[in-house]
């Protein structure tokens, strides 16, 4: 079982560069989300989606774009990377996004922006 | 923005010791409380999801309790083992949106 697959695991960018973090799940989950993890802080929600074609903003959406063209994939785009976006990024999914459903996480992407 | 606090921030215990830590959350508009274990270089994995006041959940040597009226949950580990070393995250949902608010975690190190 692949579960939630994130790529790449590590990435170094220069300020102003763009990139896409990939996330795919094979569990037929409707809900997918992106979090960032910074030292001393809890996971913070960037964007989420409750199904194909539907996305919404979380707590810290600025500087990030998402789209959900299929149930399986939920890429996160950084259009113009900034040093403040240096962080560990996690993709997570659940069956329907109900608050009492556990989240399944990907293995994370460690991003450094110089 | 909801405030979810975890204490202590970090903890070192000897192998065989029992330990516990706390997650505090808003006591109003409670819907669910999650606990996750996050081992270094791995993905966070769900331990428990609790929804009812007074709920107790158990998985092997790990158990959790929930008090929604006063806004706290305890996670207990009985007879800690080195493989229990991880960061333990709690997350709160008020149910008003499909979002969880995470605490910053308790980092547990079990010394052999």
| Rounded-to-integer distance, Cα A106 and Cα B71, Å | 29
The predicted structure's pLDDT at residue B72: 96
Chain A partners within 8 Å of B104 (Cβ): 40-42
The total number of residues shown for chain B amounts to 112
Interchain contact, A99 vs B105, CB within 8 Å:
no
**CA end-to-end distance (rounded Å), chain A:** 36
**pLDDT top residue among B49 and B3:** B49
Cβ of residue B60 closer than 8 Å to a chain A Cβ: no
Per DSSP, the three-state class of B14 is: strand
Q: C-alpha distances in angstroms, A113 versus A38, A51, A72? A: 14, 31, 28
pLDDT over 70 at A85, yes or no: yes
Write the pLDDT tens digit of every residue in B58-78.
999 999 999 999 999 999 999
**pLDDT score, position A2:** 76
Residue B28 pLDDT exceeds 90: no
């Amino acid at each position: 079982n692949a579960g939630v697959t994130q790529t790449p695991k590590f990435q170094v960018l220069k300020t102003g560069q763009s990139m896409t973090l990939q996330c795919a799940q094979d569990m037929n989950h409707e809900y997918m989300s992106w979090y960032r993890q910074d030292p001393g802080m809890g996971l913070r929600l960037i964007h989420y989606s409750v199904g194909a074609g539907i996305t919404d903003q979380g707590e810290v959406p600025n500087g990030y774009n998402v789209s959900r063209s299929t149930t399986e994939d939920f890429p996160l785009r950084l259009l113009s990377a900034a040093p403040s976006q240096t962080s560990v990024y996690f993709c997570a999914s659940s069956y329907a996004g109900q608050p009492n459903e556990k989240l399944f996480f990907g293995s994370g992407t460690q991003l450094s922006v110089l | 923005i909801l405030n979810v606090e975890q204490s202590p921030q970090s903890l070192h215990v000897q192998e065989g010791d029992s330990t516990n830590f706390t997650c505090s959350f808003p006591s109003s508009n409670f819907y669910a409380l999650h606990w996750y274990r996050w081992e270094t270089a791995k993905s966070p994995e769900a331990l428990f999801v609790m929804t009812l006041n007074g709920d107790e959940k158990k998985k092997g040597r790990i158990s959790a309790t929930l008090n929604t009226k006063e806004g706290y949950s305890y996670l207990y580990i009985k007879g800690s083992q080195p493989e229990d070393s991880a960061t333990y995250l709690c997350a709160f949902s008020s149910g008003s949106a499909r979002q969880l608010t995470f605490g910053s975690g308790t980092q547990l190190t079990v010394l052999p």
